[in-house]
Amino acid sequence: MLFCRLYGNPVCTASNAARAANLCQPTSVTDAPSGEGKQVSTTCFPCPTNFEYNPSSPIPCFCAAPLGVGFRLKSPGISDFRPYKEAFENDLTSLLELRVYQLYIERYIWEAGPRLNTHLKLFPNNTNLFDMAEVVRLREVLAGWQITLLDVFGPYELLNFTLGFYADEFRTAASPGLKGGALAGILVGTIVAAIAVSVFSTVFIMKRRRKQRTISRRSLLSRFSVKVDGVKCFTFDEMAVATRDFDISAQVGQGGYGKVYRGNLADGTTVAIKRAHEDSLQGSKEFCTEIELLSRLHHRNLVSLVGYCDEEDEQMLVYEFMPNGTLRDHLSAKTERPLSFGQRVHIALGAAKGLLYLHTEANPPIFHRDVKASNILLDSKFVAKVADFGLSRLAPVPDIEGTLPAHISTVVKGTPGYLDPEYFLTHKLTERSDVYSLGVVFLELLTGMKPIQHGKNIVREVNIAYQSGDVSGIIDSRMSSYPPECVKRFLSLAIRCCRDDTEERPYMADIVRELETIRSMLPEGEDVLSSTSGSGLLAKSMSSSSTTTTGALYVSSHISGSGQADSGIPSGMVAPR
């Protein structure tokens, strides 16, 4: 017998919750708070402040000082956590080198995305206290993303690491090797220096306040030494005015990093304002990385950074506004104006040119590491611009002997469905990791499918259809009409980009050349209209061309026919999926 639970179904709404309690997946679960589990007898004496009973401990009534961890799964491949709870506990404790009973999941809640926000407690191993070196190690492992969970749980982010009892000792323990007199001397010197710096800073800040008439808190950027020459720094008040105090009607998007708002600056410029979530360690690093990269990257196919806000404990990035949203929006089944084949080729070419600039012309070169349809934005003329550099990494540079490393060794980050399988397995990031991700985007353009949908992987599904010699069933029938030879070459290119073996994938320069060849093969006018006209004119033009063009050059989904090329791409009607 198969038993399923509903998720997102109207019957699971609050008004029906009691009636459907046994049918719906819970959005949040709170277990007994640590210190109140079933192992705690009523005869147990209360624990001292900052100490708790471990509900998972094999020893009853044992007080210990735990560490609190806010831990969020960003893209889990599950919709119900309960059957996977034990596997998660085993996986995480194994990676952290802890016993299973040292971990207690106090509560978890599903958030939009979907993402799974969990609150964890880590307890010492049957002792009252963690060794301070162990506290330092656990924090470094979690905050440094030095572990990789099972694929089913996807990437994670550390929201907070609560020290509790260990807070006072942590700073000393984090700097090992300083003892006795040396530590005392350094402490005295530090206090004296701090007083001097404080006096100087107070005078400097007061003068600066008189000039600027703004009161800004200490900038995150100074801590990360980010250079933002030529990028405007906005105040929090300016951002609030631009978005009507961050009104929900101004919100145009939301992701793992935060929310995106449409705003109007004082000079009338329309911008996109990306506002970070609070208390996100990963968000802080992504914020600084993106400013540093975007401030020195200038290309027609890369989103332009207008400025940033680092004030009032806020982190915001201000971009040029893209009125046509993301590529993913236009591939959705809900879109009212599907993209024509010509538009899709132009978008693919624009994205490839933006990445080629990052790989070969940026100094030093950059690997994007999170290429996906939702990170490709479209301006008013449907020109593609690559966005979201929060996960980007600088490419390797030659060593002292002039030898250029072939890859970067790094913790795996990215989006499931787009991740280069070799990068996932070896943690070796190369420029052709971006090629794989872009190949997945090409497959989305050709099929309209999502990378992972109903448990099916787009790369696997397309390869099966391609090898069988019949891809007509997977080509997006909403394209209206297309030249079969162009589709054949585009599909072949996408499949080569998605090879498992890195060496079998083309370089980005090869991809750009092939796409330019495909563009040159488009019927006269198609390449011009796709890059210069709005969607209304394009729709009208495509409607006209689908009824006037005949022959093998141009295929319409509204014209019947039975011819079929060797690739499985028909010369007549495209059967809907």
Give the mean pLDDT of 303-311. Answer: 87
How confident is the model at residue 292, as a pLDDT?
74
Residues paired with residue 429 on neighbouring β-strands, in sequence order: 408
Check: pTM over 0.75? Answer yes or no: no
**What is the model's pLDDT at position 118?**
94
Neighbours of 476 (CB within 10 A): 22
User: 145 pLDDT exceeds 60?
Assistant: yes
- pLDDT value of position 31: 53
Joined together, the tokens standing for residue 309 give 């806000």
pLDDT of residue 404: 44
Token pair in block for residue 46:
């209360």
Proportion of the chain above pLDDT 70, given as a percent: 66
Compute the distance between CA of residue 292 and CA of residue 390 in angstroms, rounded to an integer: 10
**Per DSSP, which regions of 399-472 are E strands?**
408-409, 428-429, 452-453, 456-457
Q: State the sign of the Cα–Cα–Cα–Cα dihedral 7, 156, 449, 350.
A: positive
Please report the domains of the chain, with CATH numbers, ordered by start residue.
Answer: 29-173 (3.30.70), 220-320 (3.30.200.20), 327-395+405-521 (1.10.510.10)
More confident residue, 221 or 90: 90
- Give the model's confidence band at 558: pLDDT under 50 very low, under 70 low, under 90 confident, else very high: very low
Backbone angles phi, psi at 50, to 5 degrees: 70, 5
Helix 508-521 and helix 484-497, axial crossing angle in degrees, nearest 10: 170
Q: Which residues pair with 253 in a beta bridge?
A: 260
Question: pLDDT higher for 561 or 129?
Answer: 129
Catalytic residue at 399?
Answer: no
Tens of pLDDT, residues 358-394: 999 887 788 888 899 999 999 999 999 998 876 555 5
Q: Decide if pLDDT at 268 tops 90.
A: yes
Closest-CA residue to 413 (of 69, 72, 156): 156
In this model, does residue 576 exceed pLDDT 70? no
Residue of 31, 237, 247, 370 marked active site: 370
Find, among 128, 137, 71, the residue nearest to 105 by Cα. 71
* Least confident residue range of 136-145, 184-193, 413-422: 184-193
Most confident range (mean pLDDT) of 103-112, 139-148, 269-278, 489-498 is 489-498
Q: What share of the chain is helix, strand, coil (3-state, %, to 5)?
A: 40, 15, 45
Share of the chain above pLDDT 90, in %: 38
Q: What band does 532 get if pLDDT is binned at 50, 70 and 90?
A: very low
Instruction: State mean pLDDT over 26-35.
Output: 54
Place of tokens 């624990």: 47
Rounded to an integer, what is the distance from CA 220 to the centroid of its chain? 21
Question: How much is the average pLDDT of 313-329?
Answer: 89
Mean pLDDT of the chain: 76
Burial per residue of 116-126, b for 16 or more beta-carbon CB atoms within 10 angstroms, e otherwise: bbbbbbbbbee
DSSP secondary structure of 453-495 = ETTEEHHHHHHHHHHHT--TTTS-GGG-EE-HHHHHHHHHHHH
To 10 degrees, what angle do helices 341-356 and 508-521 make?
A: 150
Task: Return the minimum-mean-pLDDT range out of 81-95, 209-223, 433-447.
Answer: 209-223
Q: Would you say residue 569 has pLDDT above 70? A: no
274 annotated ligand-binding residue: yes
| 105 Cβ neighbours under 8 A, 6+ residues apart | 31, 85, 88, 89, 118, 119, 120
